[in-house]
Amino acid sequence: MNQDKDKEKRKEQSQDIIEIQKTEIRRAIDKIENDKTPGEDKITGEMLKGGKEEITKLIQILFNEIMKNEQVPEQWTKTIIILLHKKEDTERIENYRPISLMTNMYKIFAHTIHSRIRPTLERSQPYEQAGFRKILLNNRPSTQYKSNNRKAQ
């Protein structure tokens, strides 16, 4: 009984979601970096940018279906973590750094959602959380603060 109510409530809420627009997707594709190793799907940033006009409508349909069903493709939930040697002795683990390879489709989807919720998040965060934020807070740029939230000297 409760499951039916929950399902009905989610259905009502999903009707309130504004469809993802092609302009949002194009903007997110433009943010994908070139010359980066792709995730498991092997779709590179260059491929997405090169075919942006041709694939935007298909991506829009996919993203809106994901929003409607509240389910991302399982492939997007997988991350490949590899260690890159950064300096000196290759026998010491501290001389490596991990990198995570995620699918670019997930990055586009996440950027699109993040762009939508960022204004609400910014308004909701206390001033003390300004260290990593890009916007002006109380007419002061967040760059006046170090990452540890102490005022810069």
Q: Which residue in 56, 27, 49 sits closest to 116, CA to CA?
A: 27
Q: Which residue in 84, 111, 106 sits closest to 38, CA to CA?
A: 106
Provide the residue ranges of all domains of the chain, joining segments of one domain with +: 2-144
pTM strictly above 0.75: no
In tens digits, the chain (153 residues) has pLDDT values of: 677 777 676 666 656 778 999 999 999 999 999 999 999 999 999 999 999 999 999 999 999 999 999 999 999 999 999 999 999 999 999 999 999 999 999 999 999 999 999 888 888 878 777 676 665 545 454 444 444 444 444
What pLDDT shows up at residue 122? Answer: 81
Q: Report phi then psi at 80, rounded to 5.
A: -95, 125
CA distances (Å), 111 to each of 11, 29, 38, 41, 64, in order?
24, 9, 16, 18, 14
What pLDDT shows up at residue 153? Answer: 41
